[in-house]
Amino acid sequence: MKTYRVAILGCRGRGTAAARAYYQHPRTELVALCDLIPERLETLGDELGVAARYDDLDRMIAAEAPDIVAIPTGTEFHYELALRVLEYGIHIDIEKPICTTLAEADEVLAKAAAHNVQVAVHHQGRSGGAHQAVRAAIDAGKIGALRYMQGSGKGYYAGYGLMNIGTHMLNSMLGVAGPVRSVQAQALTDGRPISPADVLPSPSGMGTIAGEHVTTALNFASGITATLLQHRFATMDSTAYMLEIYGSEGRLYWKSGSPWLLPEPHFAPGKSEWQQLAPVVPDHYDPEGPAAVEDYQFADEYVQALDEGRAHECSGHEGRHVLEILMGIFESGAYGRRVELPQQDRDHPLLRWRAEAGLGALEPMPRPYAEWLAAEDRRLGRG
């Protein structure tokens, strides 16, 4: 059995998570690290005993010949770095969201196809044990026929929340119900429908966003519907981050790491009880090791996919479809109409909307989220 050689390009938070997963998995070998900041290389290299440390990805690839390069960098760098790595004919594990526009994502997937390699987008929730338990319960008929889903963010400014963790929620919804046919969104800023002046550069380099509170209805090709709530809360609350799945005979409730089943279609206090399900985790995962279980399972799925010559469950195509949904939500919120997917126009719909309104280039905004929020509150006259 082949052992896949893995290199990490970007060694901060998510690079550390990816490195630990590929270090721990028995079928992958962590062969090299790359970062522009020497201390990050040293910290991670020392933790996991990786001697091959680089500040240049081309030199790393030439010297180490990895099978997979993980790209856990800020989102604004995904496009350029993915194209550079794919040019070598190497599989990539790229953090979410795949890119900041559909045109960029199209180019990344075309490059991967041209070199006959795989793209996996790091939506580890979907390959994780709680999601697997939910899927197994659906397949076993525990909730009867699928009817509806409801997902929520945890209180980020909505446009940013969509690009940030909305990607995870949408990818998990795709894992349950398949592709989305159309979206219809209500996007509000300061309690009123967004205007072209509300289009802003995203915090954390996630492209262009709009909307403080966004409520979206999704229509899946399978015929079911879903609601996605991304609403800015006064205080972030991760307990709000959940997916509930409604069937004709029961319901499922998913939080990262934690699946639940209601064996009746409607919750009635005192009459029906939620039952906790066991996450589905492979026997070879050692909880004493450094890897977080969902990142480990993401790596495990990549090993199986490459062994079988197929795409990762969280493939580049799935990641691009998530981006199609996100861009559809922005377009629908802007133009006030339902958007059919996949869209023909691959440019950013919010930039198109602004240009049509005769507005010029976007004013810069701070990159860190807290500073960005403070600037936005000032723009909205909140002091």
Ligand X SMILES: NC(=O)c1ccc[n+]([C@@H]2O[C@H](COP(=O)([O-])OP(=O)(O)OC[C@H]3O[C@@H](n4cnc5c(N)ncnc54)[C@H](O)[C@@H]3O)[C@@H](O)[C@H]2O)c1
Rounded Cα distance between 137 and 128, Å, is: 15
Count the residues of the shown chain that bind ligand X, applying the rule CB under 6 A: 24
User: Can residue 202 be called a binding residue for ligand X (CB under 6 A)?
Assistant: no
User: Can residue 127 be called a binding residue for ligand X (CB under 6 A)?
Assistant: no
Shortest distance, position 202 Cβ to ligand X, whole Å: 10
User: Can residue 63 be called a binding residue for ligand X (CB under 6 A)?
Assistant: no
User: Can residue 62 be called a binding residue for ligand X (CB under 6 A)?
Assistant: no
Select 160 or 353, whichever has its Cβ closest to ligand X.
160
User: Can residue 85 be called a binding residue for ligand X (CB under 6 A)?
Assistant: no
Among 36, 65, 114, 145, binds ligand X (CB under 6 A): 36
Among 37, 62, 221, 357, binds ligand X (CB under 6 A): 37
User: Can residue 77 be called a binding residue for ligand X (CB under 6 A)?
Assistant: yes
SS (H, E, C) the chain: CCCEEEEEECCCHHHHHHHHHHHHCCCEEEEEEECCCHHHHHHHHHHHCCCCEECCHHHHHHHHCCCEEEECCCHHHHHHHHHHHHCCCCEEEECCCCCCCHHHHHHHHHHHHHCCCCEEECCHHHHCHHHHHHHHHHHCCCCCCEEEEEEECCCCCHHHHHHHHHHHHHHHHHHHHCCEEEEEEEEEECCEECCHHHCEECHHHCCEECCCEEEEEEEECCCCEEEEEEECCCCCCHHHCEEEEEECCCEEEEECCEEEEECCCCCCCCCCCCEECCCCCCCCCCCCCCCCHHHHHHHHHHHHHHHHCCCCCCEHHHHHHHHHHHHHHHHHHHHCCCEECCCCCCCCHHHHHHHHCCCCCCCCCCCCHHHHHHHHHHHCCCC
Shortest distance, position 16 Cβ to ligand X, whole Å: 7
Shortest distance, position 247 Cβ to ligand X, whole Å: 28
**Residue with smallest beta-carbon separation from ligand X:** 10
Select 14 or 135, whichever has its Cβ closest to ligand X.
14
Shortest distance, position 285 Cβ to ligand X, whole Å: 18
Among 73, 100, 127, 132, binds ligand X (CB under 6 A): 73
User: Can residue 369 be called a binding residue for ligand X (CB under 6 A)?
Assistant: no
User: Can residue 122 be called a binding residue for ligand X (CB under 6 A)?
Assistant: yes
- With contacts defined by CB under 6 A, name the span among 68-76, 103-111, 220-228, 336-344 that binds ligand X: 68-76
Select 87 or 377, whichever has its Cβ closest to ligand X.
87
Shortest distance, position 11 Cβ to ligand X, whole Å: 5
Among 5, 19, 33, 35, binds ligand X (CB under 6 A): 35
Binding site for ligand X (CB under 6 A): 9-15, 34-37, 40, 57, 72-75, 77, 81, 95-96, 122, 124, 164
